[in-house]
Amino acid sequence: MERHIHSVSSLTRQIKEVLEKSFPRLWVEGEISNFKKHSSGHLYFTLKDENSQIRCAMWKFKAGELLFRVEDGMKVLVEGDIQVYERSGNYQLIVQQLQPAGMGELQLAFEQLKKKLHGEGLFDPGHKKSLPIYPERVGVVTSPTGAAIRDIVSVVTRRFPACQIILYPVRVQGAGAAEEIANAVSAFNSYGNVNVLIVGRGGGSLEDLWAFNEEVVARAIYASEIPVISAVGHEIDYSISDFVADRRAPTPSAAAEMVVPDRKELQGVLDYYDEKLSEILKQKIKNARDRIEAYRKSYGFRKPEDVVFQKYQRLDEISRLLVISLHHQLQMHRQRVMNVSHQLQALSPLNVLKRGYSICYKDGEIIKDIKQVHMLEMVQVKLHRGQFLSQIQMLGESE
């Protein structure tokens, strides 16, 4: 019998044709392991259960449609085609769809993004800004044809008609809606002439509301310098934008009530202060009148001349006492001068000269020692009355 010898390539190709034709597109459930995202964008991983495993690949154009992040250990449902990779001779599953098992794809993506942004601090209460009490202009980011804008206009006009509403029309669901919403928030911040923003839409399914669960919207709201109110869906619906925004409103109507005061309540407050101010002014006027009446009945007001004359009399008394005090001080100073004069006269050298003494000078200086003069020098002699010049004829020291 003649043997038919196959090449490895031809055998592998035949196996490939048989295997791929035998298994139409199918669904498989398992756990992801050895997950790797290639730089090309393709995903490679192993799908396993308790007893077996199969290699899987998901091409870039399909992987880009995933809303959640694939991780090792994740239980998933995959739809794909069996394929043999001829180069290695291994069979693998080419994944067309990948869904989390036990949890919807959108719900998983929501939880993953919520956890990520919370870890980065985008939900931090310390970052949230206060809303203005009396806004002049409110910016609204929503669909121009939806019920949300009609509700907001109706409530704001009824409650606080002085407030202006500026609409930035966007799509609120579908492809590209998230980018439009994020761009609108950024545009309002660049414009800067609004006091607060309302970002939202009416209720709907998780798919309908998904634009407000996108990361790009969350980061635009977080970066906004203008306070943002998130008003997405009905009361039971929460979105990522609700957690990031400065305030959450369960509905667009509730956001409108939150952002502007009620003019009826303001009118009541103004009426109260008007009445209170009137009472305060009346009391102040009464108090002023009472003080004026007290002044009018006082002794000084009734007899002002007596008061003036008493002041005159007191002034005369002070003037007289001042004169007496000055005279007394003058006498005391005169007596002190006379005493000092007598003391000076008693100590004056002129009195000594009266008793027959004289004073000798040489060159204007008093001679106190014989050593200050020499023979035949002329000296000046001062007497009690008059003076003369004298020549030294003899020198001698007293013992």
Closest CA to 231 of 253, 215, 214, 211: 253
Distance CA 146, CA 182 (A): 18
Residues 6+ apart with CB under 8 A from 366: 359, 360
Does some domain include residue 301? no
Burial degree of 97 (CB within 10 A; 0-12, 13-18, 19+) = middle
Does some domain include residue 242? yes
Name the residue with tokens 């000594």: 352
Q: Which amino acid is at 26?
A: L
Tokens of 114: 């919520």
Distance CA 12, CA 89 (A): 6
Report in angstroms the alpha-carbon separations of 390 from 366, 381, 384: 14, 7, 16
State whether 42 and 82 are in the same domain.
yes
State whether 96 and 127 are in the same domain.
no
State whether 75 and 137 are in the same domain.
no
Tell me if residue 226 falls in helix, strand or coil.
coil
Does some domain include residue 397? no
State whether 69 and 139 are in the same domain.
no
Domain count, the chain: 3
- DSSP symbol at 133: S
Burial degree of 103 (CB within 10 A; 0-12, 13-18, 19+) = middle
Instruction: Answer with the one of 57, 74, 102 that is the final residue of a domain.
Output: 102
State whether 126 and 256 are in the same domain.
yes
Name the residue with tokens 């950024």: 186
Distance CA 147, CA 78 (A): 39
The answer to whether 57 touches 92, Cβ cutoff 8 Å, is yes
State whether 142 and 257 are in the same domain.
yes
Does some domain include residue 361? yes
Q: CA angle 257-228-140, nearest 5°?
A: 65
Q: What is the pLDDT of residue 98?
A: 85
- DSSP symbol at 11: H
Instruction: Answer with the one of 221, 243, 261 that is the final residue of a domain.
Output: 261
In this structure, what CATH number is given to the domain that contains residue 73?
2.40.50.140
**pLDDT tens, position by position, for the chain (399 residues)?**
677 777 788 787 877 777 777 788 888 888 888 889 889 889 999 888 888 888 999 999 888 877 778 888 778 888 888 888 878 778 888 898 888 776 566 777 787 888 889 989 999 999 999 999 999 999 999 999 989 999 999 999 999 999 999 999 999 998 899 999 999 999 999 998 999 999 999 887 777 888 999 999 999 999 999 999 999 976 556 789 999 999 999 899 999 999 999 988 888 888 889 889 999 999 999 999 989 888 877 766 666 777 777 788 888 889 989 999 999 999 999 999 888 887 877 777 667 777 777 888 888 888 888 888 888 888 888 887 888 888 888 777 655
Does some domain include residue 374? yes
Torsion sign (Cα): 338, 339, 344, 347 = positive
Q: In terms of residue numbers, what domain contains 42?
A: 8-102
In this structure, what CATH number is given to the domain that contains residue 203?
3.40.50.261
State whether 40 and 134 are in the same domain.
no
Does some domain include residue 110? no
Distance CA 193, CA 243 (A): 25
Residue 384 has, within 13 A of its CA and on its CB side, a CA count of 7
State whether 77 and 168 are in the same domain.
no
Report in angstroms the alpha-carbon separations of 375 from 280, 310, 318, 365: 111, 87, 74, 18
State whether 126 and 254 are in the same domain.
yes
State whether 162 and 218 are in the same domain.
yes
Instruction: Answer with the one of 246, 261, 276 that is the final residue of a domain.
Output: 261
Does some domain include residue 344? no
State whether 62 and 175 are in the same domain.
no
The answer to whether 230 touches 240, Cβ cutoff 8 Å, is no
Element (H, E) at 169: strand 164-169
Does some domain include residue 83? yes
State whether 46 and 137 are in the same domain.
no
